[in-house]
Every structure is written in C-alpha cells, then in structure tokens.
C-alpha cells in the first residue's frame, strides 16, 4: 500500500456542567449526534475534579449551579490558567453575568431552553476557535524556540533569587533594564526571558548588537530614515524602535555605542519619541529597552567612555548575572540540561558523566561561563561513542584539571601555560605567545602554531588525539604541522617534544 499513514480521528470531547440530570442527558445526546464525546459534572466542584483527569476540548457551563455559581467556576478556571473554550448556559440571562462571563473570557452565551440546532453550530465554532488558538500557541512556541529562547537553568541561591527578580521585572512597567555579566553568563537568554514573560510577549523582540554596526548606519538602523535622507535612501525605512513598537528592543553590547548615539538614545528613553534620519516629525513609540554589557559600565563612565546620565537611566533596574565559577552548584543542572539537549539534537542516548569527568567539571573555573560549558559538552558528546562522557572527551583546558583564569577565553591558559613555553626538542626555541597580547602585538599564525604544538605535546605525539583536541581532521592537522615545520624528515612523523 502506498499510503500507510491513516489519519487518526480523535473525537472532540465536551464537558457538560449542569445540575439537572435531564439537561445533561439531552446535551450528551446532542454531542453524540454531532460526533463528540462528552463527560458530565453536576456542580462546580465535580467539574473541577473531572478536569484533573479529563481533557475536554470545550466546556458547557450552567450559570445557576448549587454551591458555587457557574461564574465563580469560570473565574477559578481562568485563574488556574485554563485556556479551553467555555460556553455559558442560563435560563435567565442577567446582563451583569453576561458581562462578567465575557470579561473572564467565556466564548459565548446560550439561553435556556436550549435550541439544540443552534447549540450544534455554536459548539462547532467554539471548537474551531479553540483549535486555532492551540495552533497559534504552538506556532508561538516554535517561534520562541527558534529565537533561542529556553528555560534559564539554575539551582544555586544566586540564580534562584535572580530569576525571582527577573520575573518581577518582566511583569513590571519598567521601560529600561540593564543586564550585566561576563561573556557567556546568559545575558541574551535572560533578555529573551524577560520579554517572553512580560505582557509584551506577543509583540516583537528585536535584538541588535551595538558593536557590530558602524555609527552612521546604526543611527538609521535604530531610528529609521525618510526617503532621500541620504544617497542610498531610495525609500522610507522604519527603524528598530518602530519595528519593536509595543515589544522589546534588546541593545546588546551597549558599551560600544558611539557618544552621539548615546545622546540620542537617552532622549528616546526619556521621551519615548524617535525621529527618523532626515525626518522632521517626532514619532511616539512604546518600547521596552533591555541593554546588555559584558564591560564594566560603571568603569566606562568613570573613564569617560560612557555617558553618566545614560548609565543612570539604564541602570534604574539592573540585573547582574554572576559568573559560573561563583555558582558551581549550577554545573550539574546545566550538564543535565545540555546533555538532554544534545541527546535530542544528535539523536544520542548519553546518560551522563563518569565520576572523574564530574570532578573535572566541578573543579574547573569556567572563564567562558555557561557558553564554555555548553561548548565543552557539545564537543564531548560528539567525541564520545559510549553512554558516559569521559575526561578524554573534554577540551584540554578542562581535562588538564587547571582551574582556568577568570574572564579570559579558554585557550588563553592553554597557550600561556608554563609547559607551553618550554623550548622544543626539535631545535626550535621559539617561545609560545601568551594570549594577553604583548605591546608589540602577536600574529594569529603564531597562536595557531603554538596550539598545534601544544596539542601534539599533550597527546604525546599521537596525531589522531591531537586532531581531536583541536577539533580538526587528521589531514588538517598534518597540513598545519607541515606548514609550521613540525614534521621530522619525510615520513611526516609528528614532533613529539616531550619524548625523551
């Protein structure tokens, strides 16, 4: 058979809440006639308990119920985050009830005695609306996932308190928020979390990196331009402030913004109006600005690189993300999360880490913070063929048990490690460059050369291992060895500096 996928028809289910047995019976019959299943409840309490086990697609809810009224039940449902479609029924529609029910989000009102013909149509419309809403929700979820938005993992006290604060900030009216923290601590992720947990979540989240764009373009990028504002401005273009209207604008690396734009930004933050380049008219915008920086902005202010007034304006609400080395309790939770993530991504079934690997991850200082941990795990999962990650799978810096240097890239320690500065046995006495670049500068090639040597030293001359350490192919390694003169004679033997 060609088409082996037979669509499975799931019959929609309706919860009927009415104290009169006869009414429930008649409604259940109508449901069956329309092809729906039904479950019944005689009062609000029973309805709430049915909902614990059943998952109906819509609810028919009588207003006049013994005990709590239908309106009260509706209120409870909505408070608990219920999103299913609710249709109210009543014999004597009171305007107040109708208004309250609709305000609470009821889909429709039907009056008793019930016109079953009409009820069939109402139910069908209600179910279609519900399905549409579910689809929109799932598409929204998809958009968020694509935007790199996922849970912020953290069990340490620092992180749990910080996340409570972040939730408050998200729900607040705050129009500017500053997020600071070292590179890789999760500033982007927290910015997205603030947006997606705020009332602005269905409006745009727009991000721009202030260091990536030259000043002249940046102004038009942020504020837009009128037609003819400059040579290339063939048509009017909206800026990001307008695009992000009613949503959130994330200004990453705010410390890199030019002085002119710092002044312009301050004005926008204070007045919530922008003016397009070449324009004469002020345009009102309603944008929450989240700024992030991995530079110490206060210091930048003291040193005169960043406007003090802008800093104060941004820092009214300030979130500081602690480096990972100050919250090592988060490492196991992050490991779980990322192993799960890469298991799904690479279709693997890695169970976790062996003991030594756990110890290494806990004792390392993570200068590149969560990003470095994430990358280390990705690499380990690609290298490991078994179900437990082992020290061999880890990048050299982590596996070597060195503690790492705060705030520097992982390769920094590798290159500047004392072992790396020993003269080579093969005659070369070139000292390896250190990553804090010397006054006179250093070349990228020298660093590459040093890393290749180091990898060979570390792997005792084993090219396969060295290539793994550098995450390159063996051919690429051989090419580099040749290029840097690390080959003995014709047979392409690796220089093995540590061999006696």
Ligand X SMILES: Nc1ncnc2c1ncn2[C@@H]1O[C@H](COP(=O)(O)OP(=O)(O)OP(=O)(O)O)[C@@H](O)[C@H]1O
Q: Which residues are near ligand X by CB under 6 A?
A: 152-154, 181, 183-189, 294, 334, 337, 370-371, 374
For 150, 191, 218, the CA distances from 146, given in Å and listed in that order, are 10, 15, 25
Q: Whose Cβ is closer to ligand X: residue 70's or residue 395's?
A: 395
Minimum separation from the CB atom of position 353 to ligand X (A): 17
In the complex, what is the shortest distance from the CB of residue 252 to Mg ion, in angstroms, rounded to a whole number?
5
Q: How far is the CB of 149 from ligand X (least distance, A)?
A: 9
Which of 74, 297 has the CB closer to Mg ion? 297
Cβ neighbors of 346 (< 8 A, separation 6 or more) are 381, 382
154 binds, among ligand X, Mg ion, none (CB under 5 to 8 A by kind): ligand X
Residue 252 beta carbon to ligand X: minimum distance, rounded to whole angstroms: 6
With tokens 């408050």, the residue in question is 168
Nearer to Mg ion, 207 or 469 (CB): 207
176 binds, among Mg ion, ligand X, none (CB under 5 to 8 A by kind): none
C-beta of 171: minimal distance to ligand X in Å? 20
Query: Which one of the spans 26-34, 119-127, 187-195, 324-332 is the region binding Mg ion (CB under 5 A)?
Result: 187-195
Nearer to ligand X, 70 or 186 (CB): 186
Q: Quick one: what does residue 184 bind among ligand X, Mg ion, none, with the CB cut-off 5 to 8 Å set by partner type?
A: ligand X
237 binds, among ligand X, Mg ion, none (CB under 5 to 8 A by kind): none
Sequence-ordered list of residues with C-beta below 8 angstroms from that of 118, at least 6 positions apart, any chain: 110
- The whole-angstrom separation of Cα 346 and Cα 351 is 14
The residue whose Cβ lies closest to Mg ion is 188
Compute how many residues bind Mg ion; rule: CB under 5 A. 2
Q: Nearest distance from residue 152's CB to ligand X, in Å?
A: 4
Residues in the chain: 500
Q: Which is nearer to ligand X, 44 or 184 (CB)?
A: 184
Pick 38 or 198: Cβ nearer ligand X: 198
* Burial call 454-475: b when 16+ CB within 10 Å, e when fewer: bbbbbbebebeebbbbbebeee
Q: Are 174 and 315 in contact (CB under 8 A)?
A: no
For the CB of residue 221, give the shortest distance to ligand X in the complex, in Å: 19
Backbone angles phi, psi at 56, to 5 degrees: -70, 160
Provide, rounded to whole angstroms, the least separation between the CB of residue 370 and ligand X: 4
Contacted entry of Mg ion, ligand X, none for residue 251, CB cut-off 5 to 8 Å set by kind: none
Neighbour-count burial of 284, counting CB atoms closer than 10 A to its CB (0-12 exposed, 13-18 middle, 19+ buried): exposed
The entry of ligand X, Mg ion, none near residue 181 (CB within 5 to 8 angstroms by kind) is ligand X
Minimum distance from residue 471 beta carbon to ligand X (Å): 18
Closer residue to ligand X, CB minimum distance, 154 or 410: 154
Select the binding partner of residue 186 from ligand X, Mg ion, none (C-beta < 5 to 8 A, by kind): ligand X
Locus of tokens 């930004």: 265
Stretch that binds Mg ion, among 61-69, 181-189, 192-200, 298-306 (CB under 5 A): 181-189
Confirm or reject binding of residue 188 to Mg ion (CB under 5 A).
yes
Look at residue 153 and give the partner it binds from ligand X, Mg ion, none, a contact being a CB closer than 5 to 8 Å depending on partner kind. ligand X
Q: Shortest Cβ distance from residue 160 to ligand X (Å)? A: 11
Cα 178 to Cα 244: distance, rounded to the nearest angstrom: 18
Given the DSSP bridges, would you call strands 388-389 and 224-225 parallel, antiparallel or unpaired? Answer: unpaired
CB of residue 376 vs ligand X: minimum separation in angstroms? 12
In Å, how far are 24, 41, 78, 102 from 14, measured between CA atoms? 11, 11, 17, 20
Q: Which residue is nearest to ligand X (CB)?
A: 186
Residue 44's binding partner, choosing from ligand X, Mg ion, none, with beta-carbon cut-off 5 to 8 A by kind?
none
Picked from Mg ion, ligand X, none, the partner binding residue 192 (CB below 5 to 8 A depending on kind) is none
Which is nearer to ligand X, 153 or 236 (by Cβ)? 153
Q: Shortest CA distance to 36 belongs to which of 105, 134, 130, 137?
A: 130
Q: For residue 253, is it left (φ>0), alpha (ψ between -120 and 50) or beta?
A: left
Q: Which of 130, 89, 133, 132 is nearest to 113 (CA)?
A: 89
Of the candidate spans 127-135, 186-194, 217-225, 470-478, the one that interacts with Mg ion by CB under 5 A turns out to be 186-194
The CA angle 148-149-154, to the nearest 5 degrees, is 115
Which partner, ligand X, Mg ion, none, binds residue 381 by CB below 5 to 8 Å per kind?
none
Provide the binding-site residues for Mg ion, judged by CB under 5 A.
187-188
């Amino acid at each position: 058979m060609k088409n082996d996928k037979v669509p499975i028809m799931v019959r929609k289910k309706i919860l009927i809440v009415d104290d009169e047995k006869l009414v429930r019976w008649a409604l259940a019959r109508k449901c069956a006639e329309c092809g729906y299943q039904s479950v019944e409840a005689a009062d609000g309490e029973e309805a709430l308990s049915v909902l614990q086990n059943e998952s109906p697609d819509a609810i028919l809810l009588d207003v006049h119920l013994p005990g709590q009224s239908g309106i009260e039940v509706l209120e409870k449902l909505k408070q608990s985050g219920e999103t299913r479609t609710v249709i109210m029924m009543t014999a004597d529609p009171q305007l107040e009830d109708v208004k309250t029910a609709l305000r609470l989000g009821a889909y429709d009102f039907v009056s008793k005695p019930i016109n079953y013909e009409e009820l069939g149509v109402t139910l069908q419309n209600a179910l279609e609306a519900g399905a549409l809403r579910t689809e929109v929700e799932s598409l929204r979820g998809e958009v968020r996932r694509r935007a790199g938005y996922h849970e912020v993992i953290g069990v340490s006290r620092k992180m749990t308190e910080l996340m409570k604060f972040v939730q408050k900030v998200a729900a607040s009216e705050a129009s500017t928020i500053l997020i600071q923290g070292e590179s890789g601590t999760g500033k982007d992720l927290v910015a997205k979390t603030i947006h997606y947990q705020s009332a602005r979540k269905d409006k745009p989240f727009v991000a721009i990196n202030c260091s990536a764009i030259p000043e002249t373009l940046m102004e038009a990028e942020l504020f837009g331009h009128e037609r003819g504002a400059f040579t290339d401005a063939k048509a009017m273009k909206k800026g990001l402030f307008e695009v992000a209207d009613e949503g959130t604008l994330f200004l990453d690396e705010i410390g890199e913004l030019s002085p002119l734009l710092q002044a312009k930004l301050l004005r926008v933050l204070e007045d919530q109006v922008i003016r397009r380049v070449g324009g004469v008219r002020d345009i009102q915008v309603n944008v929450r600005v989240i700024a992030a920086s991995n530079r110490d902005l206060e210091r930048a202010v003291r040193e005169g690189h960043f406007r003090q007034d802008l800093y104060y304006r941004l820092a009214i609400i300030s979130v500081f993300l602690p480096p990972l080395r100050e919250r090592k309790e988060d490492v196991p939770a992050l490991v779980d999360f990322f192993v799960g993530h890469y298991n799904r991504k690479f279709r693997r079934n890695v169970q976790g880490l062996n003991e030594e690997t756990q110890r290494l991850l806990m004792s390392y200082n993570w200068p590149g913070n969560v990003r470095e941990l994430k990358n280390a795990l990705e690499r380990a999962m690609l290298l490991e063929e078994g179900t437990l990650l082992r020290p061999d799978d880890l990048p050299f810096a982590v596996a070597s048990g060195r503690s790492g240097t705060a705030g520097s890239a992982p390769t920094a320690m590798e290159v500047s490690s004392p072992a790396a500065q020993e003269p080579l046995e093969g005659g070369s006495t070139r000292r390896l460059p250190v990553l804090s670049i010397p006054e006179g500068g250093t070349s990228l090639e020298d660093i590459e050369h040093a890393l290749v040597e180091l990898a060979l030293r570390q792997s005792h001359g084993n090219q396969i291992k060295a290539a793994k350490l550098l995450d390159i192919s063996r051919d690429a390694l051989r090419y580099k060895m040749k290029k840097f003169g690390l080959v003995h004679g014709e047979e392409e033997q690796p220089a093995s500096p540590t061999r006696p």
